[in-house]
A and B are shown apart, each in its own frame.
Chain A
Amino acid sequence: MPIDLSVEHKLAAPPRVKRRTLRIIGTDVTLLESVRQMAMADLQFDIEYESLDFLTCQRRAATHPEHYDIYEQCFHNLDIVWHWGALQPIDTQRITEWGNIGDLSKLGGVSKYMRQGYGDAPVRKLYVQPDGVIGQQPMRYISMLPTAHNVDSFGFDRRVFGDEGPEGSSWAWLLDKRAKGRIAIVDEPAIGFFDAALAAEASGDLSFVDICNMTVDEIDNLMALLETLRQQGFFCDSWKSAQDAEALLHAEKVAAQSMWSPSYGNLGPMEEHFVESVPREGYRAWHGGASLARHLTGTKLGMAYEYLNWWLTGKAGAVMARQGYYMTVPENTRQYLTEDEWDYWYDGQIARSDLVGTSGQTVVRKGRRRAGGAYHQRVSRIALWNTVMDEYNYAARAWNRFISAVREGKP
């Protein structure tokens, strides 16, 4: 009787266990290679990152939940992704550090005396209500685990605007004629739109009843103002990623522009001239997080919870801190930062030594102090949050037309 060699061979081969993999989509705000490596080492399974630009990420998350296990983006993206039914609620009883997550995420402000700011404060989108919508009434289940967050402003050239002075700068500088022809704005409609809106209100050109929930008329007025300024040549460009923004800076094309925290560590030759503003009107805040894809069950769901819990252990928080982002559960993050790092990034103290960024390069020189000061000071001055407002569909279409015109340099 002939021997079936293939069977023999199969039996003889060592058992091949396929390593399990967790697939994550997000943006370069949180999908950093160093984070992925640390997570894989701690969690004993593979992690795949797919880093996308903001709008693509949001669209993919909403329409193709089967292509990922975890979605990392921001609370303001949930209005779209959650309502598309792409995600499943997170059980806070399976989140070990849930009790230690701070009030900024859970209550919307660091103290009851602080305003929550206009717009999509995470608390307004956090809890899954009994009818399936997301809202701020505390519930056991949440839509997104709050993780990295920060407050943003704009950057300006001191040679053009001088120093801020004690009263701070103003968002009005982002549409100031001193910077005419050298202004750039981030192109994301839930973010750049509000940089422009804050500037228009601060300059006294327009006023909005609720800046984060504008009426169609208010949107039309803002877009008309921006279009007029565009035709007068105020804007030189728009940008999609922090790298794009840095490229504009290095080419000395901008005197005032939307800026995100990591870019201040990569100013290069502009280091002496380009400054992070502390606007007197307050900051535009954002809050990131991680959500579970609708299809997850069983083992995969267990792995996803492990990954979510890992995010709060502090290692990822330390990486986030080195690009200027804060983490929920800061005390855990503190364990993985040097004292100098903690004091500079979270405590607003003068840097006692040069500090390195996420890839080992120096991002803060000894003797510098973080613009706006300590965590508490900064997050106590939130004017508004990145927002997908009621008229988002209308506003985003108008905004995208404006951005295309800026990019194409139409007359």
Chain B
Amino acid sequence: MDEPSEIETVDGRAIAGRNHRSGIAVASQEPVLQPADARRWRDRHFYRAFTLPAVSVAVGTTVLPLALLLFWSLVDQRSGEPTLRYYVQSLASPYFARTLLTTIVMAAGVTAVSIVLALPVAYVLARHTLLRSVLVPVISVPRMLPFVVIGYAIVLLLAPYTGVMNKSLIAAGILSEPVFILFGWPGQAIAFGYAGVVIAIAILTGVFMTVDPQLEDAAVTLGAGRLKAVLTVSMPLAAPGTVAAAALIFSTVVTSYAIPVMLNSRTPYMVSVLIYNNLYSLQERHLAYAQAIIVTALAVSVTTAAQFFLSRFGSRR
């Protein structure tokens, strides 16, 4: 049996002392009071105490506000009574439904195009060390900028009269008058696409770097063309990472707010603009909360579906 003096704290000594006096029969009836168990219990709470600040920060500034948001979205803003009216009102409104649809189409389109455009770039960057170390700033510097800076750059590029693209196309005689693509959906799609391609190249390069090039070389040795080897060997191995990147881009675009407001159009394409207007201009706070929760549910379910797919897909290999 353990010596009581081994246990430093007061409660530990008390438990050990009682065991010592009452002998083995009592100790076997109450296994919880075994000194080793007591020490383990105490140790666990000692370690647990260190996680408390982190847990309370996460609960206090994420779980609590989100719970409040959910609660208020279910409460009438004026009378204070519980109601589902904000959800019904949102989903029944053709305006909201149409905007939600264009948001989803925009996010899905941007995601698909970004992934397709980024795949070859990521593959090459992953396979060529020299090229990667020279060219990686093009990918990493935009990620170290506030997105609004990218917005300024896109405006300088595409603005109808002063933008470089319109001016040079008119100077070259290709266009006779400026095209107004900036403040419509194409301008927003280009800005989202820029962000999407940057994210996709960054993630997919990392993904392709984990795929062993020798597998592909083996396929080539066995007679497959290089393209066929990439498509049938490396691409399937990179599929889980590709799905993760796609989910990240989709959920980012679906709830993106800055670009739609910066490049705003008369008819909003993105649901986040409606939410913002309800929150600030129209003072319909609880309606905005309900709509924010609808969009969050959409974004989170896409991410969850991707994770579910990954776990099924991953377990098979």
The yes or no verdict on A and B being binding partners is: no
- Interface residues of A, Cβ cutoff 8 Å to B: none
- Interface residues of B, Cβ cutoff 8 Å to A: none
